[in-house]
Amino acid sequence: MKIALAQLNYHIGNFDSNTAKAIAAIKKAKSEGADLVVFAELSVCGYPARDFLEFREFIGLCEDAAQKIARECTGIACIIGLPTENNNPEGKDLNNSAYFINDGRIAQRVNKALLPNYDVFDEYRYFEPSTEFNCIDFKGHRIALTICEDLWNTIENPLYITRPMDTLIEQQPTVMINIAASPFAYNHDEERIAILKDNAARYNLPLFYVNQVGAQTELIFDGGSMVFDNAGNLLDEMPYFEEGIAYYTLNDDASVTFTHQTGVRVNRESDIAQIHQGLLLGIRDYFYKSGFTRATLGLSGGIDSAVVCALAAEALGAENVMAVLLPSKFSTDHSLKDAEDLVNNLGCKSETIAIKDVTDAFETALAPQFKNLPFNIAEENIQSRSRAVLLMAMCNKFGYILLNTSNKSEAAVGYGTLYGDMCGGISVIGDVYKSQVFELARYINREREIIPENTIVKPPSAELRPDQKDTDSLPEYDVLDKILVEYLENRCSSSEIIQMGYDEAIVRKVIKLVNTAEHKRYQTPPILRVSPKAFGMGRRMPIVGKYLS
């Protein structure tokens, strides 16, 4: 049996596009002599469809699309993922399903059993878990078909009390196929390989795994579809962050041979290289799927805006990026030069709008109320909000989308101005710690200097008052980021972090800053997720909570 794995980029709710992609892949696979083409989880509607799933019409359109795809399956079979109505009146109204389509009709339906309900996943909100498991017979093989999480209950601390494969293996399948929508995080590829390897070896069966690729707002899917032999050896690994179709032959003895081998990675990509690829895909898909083409951002001469500008130019084309320099009376000459040098290196568009007169006008208007009180954070934030007003005016006038340039370290401790530098349509590096931003800048410069060296080596500063440095308000970033990783990603308490050897006063200050900034993060743009625990849909904290603050 010749199997094609179709690793495609879907668009949530875009049934015409998703159906056309599937049909094109079926025709291509058929021309290559494939017997079966396999698509990803919920490929018909895109993942995650979230509350679109509450619309009956949406579910009906999924079924209509599946019927269109079925009509193309003559001389070839396919497996597609979609939401379906739950036939049992008890429980949730929907199942997360896979259709096995053959001879122009839907021959069998398989429903997902293990529904993730943690971090960015919210499947039990919509779907009823399956309790029935049946293999699929096709071309002399018996297929144990599972959907994503159904194979993830092999870890030391299992989240579920059952394993679907424990039931399916009793039916003596000859191969496992798993369709997935597994989001990207920079450490997730190795975790996936370990889980899938364990399944293949545990059940002594070859395993074909297909993942989707592409970004859906903040979630990025990296592909990396894989094939394992029955001993758990990784035989082939499709490219990451790009679409493709790969072909394999499952022999009668359950061995796997290759038609077009794409190749197993001998050395895994570094975290920073993966983050770079993920962010490019995230930017590109956010704009394309939203129907926009042009971006703008405030370019300060600092490393955060420089990295975002370089990423945007690479993702969208430099001609589609407008960098706006917004110097204040506190901006240094070297910052302006660094920004101008970056613009020249990238070849993007730029404008310069001085904000001194704007901020002076605000301060004059507020003079009766401020009553000669000393300069403080109020005047600092007026500068940041003045910049935001001007940038949003550019968006309204010319149809740009504003890129937010706040990093994860700043977002964590609230080191940013609400309705100022925290505004934007999409937050590009809001899941990238400041120490990683420096690494990302070096990676962007790996072949030639794009980001000026001075931007990378100078002390970070918001330049909202004379001689300001980030370290006036925050610990050194190499210390801050390590504490943040322990708190945000490893979920360690302040006492646990202090026991690791960190200064008690610094730890308590950092965690208090994180918790008191929660209201700010509720009002920030969507953040492209590249880590195991990002701000946004995967982290749900009370604003007025007392614990740990």
Instruction: Name the token pair of 441.
Output: 């800048």
The predicted structure's pLDDT at residue 162? 86
The predicted structure's pLDDT at residue 497? 96
Residue 545 pLDDT level (bands cut at 50, 70, 90) = confident
Digit-coded pLDDT (tens) for 153-177: 876 667 888 899 999 999 999 999 9
- Looking at domain 2-264, its CATH superfamily turns out to be Carbon-nitrogen hydrolase (3.60.110.10)
- Domains 2-264 and 273-466 belong to one CATH topology: no
As a whole number, mean pLDDT of residues 138-162 equals 89
Tell me if residue 41 is catalytic. yes
As a whole number, mean pLDDT of residues 119-128 equals 95
The predicted structure's pLDDT at residue 274? 97
Residue from 73, 148, 348, 492 carrying the catalytic annotation? 148
Query: Is pLDDT of 308 > 70?
Result: yes
Residue 267 pLDDT level (bands cut at 50, 70, 90) = confident
Residue 463 pLDDT level (bands cut at 50, 70, 90) = low
The whole-chain average pLDDT of the chain stands at 94
Residue 326 pLDDT level (bands cut at 50, 70, 90) = very high
Instruction: Name the token pair of 513.
Output: 């800053």
Rounded to whole angstroms, the Cα distance separating 391 from 481 reads 30
For the ranges 70-84, 262-276, 384-398, the lowest mean pLDDT is seen at 262-276
DSSP 238: P
Tell me if residue 349 is catalytic. no
Residue from 21, 30, 41, 289 carrying the catalytic annotation? 41
**Model-level pTM?**
0.94
Tell me if residue 170 is catalytic. no
β-strands 401-404, 295-298: how paired?
A: parallel
More confident residue, 471 or 297: 297
Question: Closest by alpha carbon to 230, among 252, 209, 246, 254?
Answer: 254
The DSSP line for 503-540 is -HHHHHHHHHHHHHTHHHHTTSPPB---SSS-SSTT--
Rounded to whole angstroms, the Cα distance separating 316 from 150 reads 37
Percent of the chain with pLDDT over 70: 97
Select from 3.40.50.300, 3.40.50.620, 3.40.50.880, 3.30.460.10 the CATH code of 273-466.
Answer: 3.40.50.620
Instruction: List C-alpha distances in Å: 490 to 44, 188, 380, 485.
Output: 35, 15, 34, 6
Residue from 30, 112, 289, 434 carrying the catalytic annotation? 112
To 5 degrees, how large is the angle CA 513–CA 519–CA 521?
Answer: 85
Rounded to whole angstroms, the Cα distance separating 48 from 5 reads 21
DSSP lists the bridge partners of residue 178 as 146, 209
| Domain edges within the chain | 2-264, 273-466
